[in-house]
Amino acid sequence: MIPQSFIQELLARVDIVEVVGRHVKLRKAGANWLGLCPFHGEKSPSFTVSASKQFYHCFGCGAHGSAIGFLMEQAGLGYVDAIQDLARSAGLQVPSTGPGEDLPRQTPGVLEVLETATRFYKARLKENARAVEYLKGRGLSGATAARYGMGYAPEGWRGLQAAVGDYFARELLEAGLVIEPEQQEAEVPTRRYDRFRDRIMFPIRNPRGQVIGFGGRVLGAGEPKYLNSPETVVFSKGRELYGLFEGRDAIRATDCVVVVEGYMDVVMLAQHGVHNAVATLGTATTPQHVAKLLRLVERVVFAFDGDAAGRRAAWRALESCLPQLSDTRRIDFLFLPPEHDPDSFVREQGASGWAQALEGSMPLSEFFLGELSRQVDLDAPEGRARLQALARPLVQSMPPIALRLQIMQAVATRAGVATADFAAFMAQGERPGAGAATSRPGSARGGAGSPVSSSRTGGQRQAPVMQTGQRPDLGQKLRLLLALHPGLAREAIDTAHLPESTVRWIEWVCGLPEGTRFAGLLEALRAVRPEEADLLQQQALRDRGLVGDLEPADALSELRDALVQLRQQAIRGEIDRLAATGLADPDARSRYAQLQGLLRSGRSE
């Protein structure tokens, strides 16, 4: 990791208006700068850059971030590369991570060996009749194979040795092209050997068109059927999508992207004239996948097989979509007949049949309600109660948009209760200052340096503290104040009677380097809790200057007022809890009287 202190210094040194202005024509618009978004086609500018907060946001496609994030999106750079590029423009030298330690190796060497491997695999495909016949048997043309850069990894342990100058170079291992087992295997003649052998090769490209990894399909029988590159310095399965680079023009033109499950689905759809399909890389759809696509298009369609496995995959995709929902974006689900996948369907029905199927795709809300309703008996009170229990964490994970209200009303109707009653039931599952759980198994990982810890209740994951699905409260206002004015955290803040999450936030902000600005705080937070960084930035955008543009003295006054009100809320809550016990215990009565006195005086201990 690059030291956080350097990242803070870098973001304090550069001006995001200047960084973005090299790529986007900006004009002054009040306190901000305005221009046409570089990430989606638009005629009326909705792309804003804040000089005071040092971040950009597009109200059209939702793209947002710091100067580092802009370079990553605009130029398709990795995190380290974006920092190094920004540092060069600012005349700074990126330091090592510590005494005697070097930064992660530069990516160009890795990218070069991946491109070399791509050329090698393409050449081998032309020479291998068995591989060519296999693709022809699947109905694939040479033009389509060439468009996607497909190739063939030959049999043998060291096929790549013929393509590279030094088979034992570190870059081959870092690129995931070779394997070095920890212990010698009897059937392997040397320690290093090719990862991909006797497979059809699908190059995976980043937004700049550079090959960053591969998917390899076995010829004939064999396991695994598909083998993907491992996680590397340039490749992350949870963030990348196959076919996004090749389909970029069609995706922009149609303002729609179709997400399928397999490489061949993407390729065969393109063969039949459907060029706006992408595929996840052997993994479930992640929130990062969804966020990336929603920045590009207005409509995302998930097209899965109609069998049980396909519906499970679709439900996992829906869970990743819920926190990303927007009233200006449309997410649909297409379930093909059980005997078909997108590959076989388009070969049988053609592009017109595929277009007709897309027209009949199911809106997210319909899939959501239908799947939950199928799991319960709506004729029984117990079933209707279970419907509410299943829906609650899912609805809570949605941002506060109109669609959320519509889904709440639909759940309430099916459960036979008033919408207000269902809303009250949902509120019972939320802790003050914290968001609700989602229905996915597993927990959020906090880790050292995280300002907020996570917990598990009944196998459900607690969402980040700054949950957008919640009504804004004093705790959120205080967190935003300290984020936009980090220097205030060094004021003498009495943390007595403050919520634990607020105390942790204050302590975390205090630990940032002096002089940190909002953009630097966001990057520091993104390093430990990226989902919280996104939520905080969304909160700052909704602020509309209410606290972000305050003068230091006014911001300090707002902070002190928020602290007083938070303490009073906490004291009232403790008083209510003591009163509920009946005050039979002398210690409880004494504590009750003490708290009443604190409340009347407007002070805390």
**pLDDT tens-place string over residues 547-596:** 556 677 777 888 888 888 887 787 777 777 777 777 767 777 777 777 77
Task: Dig out the tokens for 67 from the structure.
Answer: 């100067």
Q: What is the pLDDT, as a whole number, of residue 276?
A: 96
pLDDT tier, 532 (very low <50, low <70, confident <90, very high otherwise) = confident
pLDDT of residue 435: 36
90's CB contacts (< 8 A; 6+ apart) are 10, 13, 14
Q: What is the predicted pLDDT for the residue at 455?
A: 33
Provide the pLDDT for residue 505.
87
Cα separation of the two ends of the chain:
41
- Greatest mean pLDDT among 276-280, 427-431, 481-485 lies in 276-280
Q: Of the candidates 513, 535, 532, 533, which has an alpha carbon nearest to the alpha carbon of residue 522?
A: 533
Q: Tell me what pLDDT residue 77 has.
A: 67
Structure confidence by residue, pLDDT tens digits, 312-329: 999 999 999 999 898 989
For residue 387, pLDDT over 60 is answered with yes
Backbone angles phi, psi at 217, to 5 degrees: -100, 130
Q: Which string of b and e fits 181-201 if b means at least 16 CB within 10 Å? A: eeeeeeeeeeebbbbbbbbbb
Asked whether the predicted pLDDT for residue 479 surpasses 70, the reply is yes
Phi then psi for residue 98, to 5 deg, are 170, 175
Residue 131 has φ and ψ, to the nearest 5°, of -70, -40
pLDDT tens track for 261-291: 999 999 999 999 999 999 998 788 998 899 8
In 138-280, alpha helices (H): 142-147, 170-174, 248-254, 263-271
Provide the pLDDT confidence category of residue 11 given band limits of 50, 70 and 90: confident
Give 538's pLDDT tier (boundaries 50, 70, 90): confident
Q: Which of 80-84, 355-359, 394-398, 591-595 has the lowest mean pLDDT?
A: 591-595
Looking at the DSSP assignment, which residues form a beta bridge with residue 33? 28, 49
Q: Which residue has the higher pLDDT, 362 or 255?
A: 362
Could you tell me the two tokens for 28?
A: 């002054």
Q: What is the model's pLDDT at position 53?
A: 82
Report the range out of 9-18, 411-420, 529-538 with the highest average pLDDT.
Answer: 411-420
The answer, yes or no, to whether residue 79 has pLDDT greater than 80, is: no
pLDDT above 70 as % of the chain: 85
pLDDT at 101: 40
Q: In 232-369, where do the E strands start and end?
A: 256-260, 277-279, 299-304, 330-335, 362-363
Cα Rg of the chain (Å, integer): 27
Read off the pLDDT of residues 364-373 as tens digits, 9 standing for 90 and up.
999 999 999 9
Among 211, 173, 210, smallest CA distance to 195 is for 173
CB 187 within 8 A of CB 168: no
What is the side-by-side strand order in the sheet with 151-153? 151-153, 199-205, 211-218, 226-228
Q: What is the pLDDT of residue 547?
A: 55
* Higher-pLDDT residue of 60, 348: 348
Tokens of 170: 């570190």
**What pLDDT is stored for residue 585 in this prediction?**
74
Tell me how far apart the alpha carbons of residues 338 and 354 are, in angstroms, rounded to a whole number.
15
> Are 5 and 514 contacting, i.e. CB atoms less than 8 angstroms apart?
no
Whole-number Å distance between alpha carbons of 494 and 123:
69
358-378 mean pLDDT: 96
Of the candidates 427, 309, 424, 439, which has an alpha carbon nearest to the alpha carbon of residue 368?
A: 439
Q: What is the pLDDT of residue 493?
A: 73
Residue 456 has pLDDT above 70, yes or no: no
Q: Is 19 helix (H, G, I), strand (E, B) or coil?
A: helix
The residue-averaged pLDDT of 170-184 equals 87
> Mean pLDDT, to the nearest integer, of 406-421?
96
pLDDT of residue 274: 97
What's the whole-number average pLDDT of the chain?
A: 82
Partners of 152 in the beta sheet?
200
pLDDT, position 449: 46
pLDDT for the residue 220? 77
In the Cβ-directed half-sphere of 408, how many Cα atoms lie within 13 Å?
24
**Is 184's pLDDT higher than 90?**
no
Q: Which amino acid is at 595?
A: L
CA 49/CA 47 separation, integer angstroms: 7
Q: Which whole number is the average pLDDT over 52-63? A: 83
Give residue-wise pLDDT tens across range 109-148. 888 999 999 999 999 999 999 999 999 999 999 999 999 9
Check pLDDT > 50 for residue 439: no
Which has more pLDDT, 572 or 395? 395
Q: Which two tokens stand for residue 143?
A: 């033009």
- Bridge-based pairing of strands 32-35 and 27-29 is antiparallel
The secondary structure element, H or E, covering residue 5 is helix 4-13
The Cα–Cα gap between 283 and 85 comes to 31
Judged against a pLDDT cut of 70, whether residue 104 lies above it is answered with: no
Cβ–Cβ < 8 Å for 243, 277: yes
Give 432's pLDDT tier (boundaries 50, 70, 90): very low
Contact 498, 528 (CB under 8 A): no
Residue 207: the pLDDT is 73
Q: Determine the pLDDT at residue 541.
A: 72
Cα 395 to chain center, whole Å?
18
pLDDT for 451 equals: 52
Q: Give the pLDDT score at 452.
A: 45
More confident residue, 48 or 96: 48
Q: How many CB atoms lie within 10 A of CB 253?
A: 11
pLDDT of residue 76: 63
* Token output for 407: 């889904």
Closest C-alpha to 124, from 92, 94, 149, 91: 149
Q: pLDDT at residue 485 above 70?
A: yes
Strand (E) or helix (H) holding 200: strand 199-205
More reliable by pLDDT, 351 or 50: 351
Coil vs helix vs strand at 264: helix
Domains and CATH numbers, the chain: 4-90 (3.90.580.10), 108-228 (3.90.980.10), 248-369 (3.40.1360.10), 474-601 (1.10.860)
Query: Which of residues 473 and 339 earns the better pLDDT score?
Result: 339
Query: Where are the alpha helices (H) located in 375-435, listed in sequence order?
Result: 381-396, 402-415, 419-428
CB proximity list for 364: less than 8 A, separation 6 or greater? 318, 321, 325, 331, 332, 333
Q: How far apart are CA 571 and CA 596, in angstroms?
A: 8
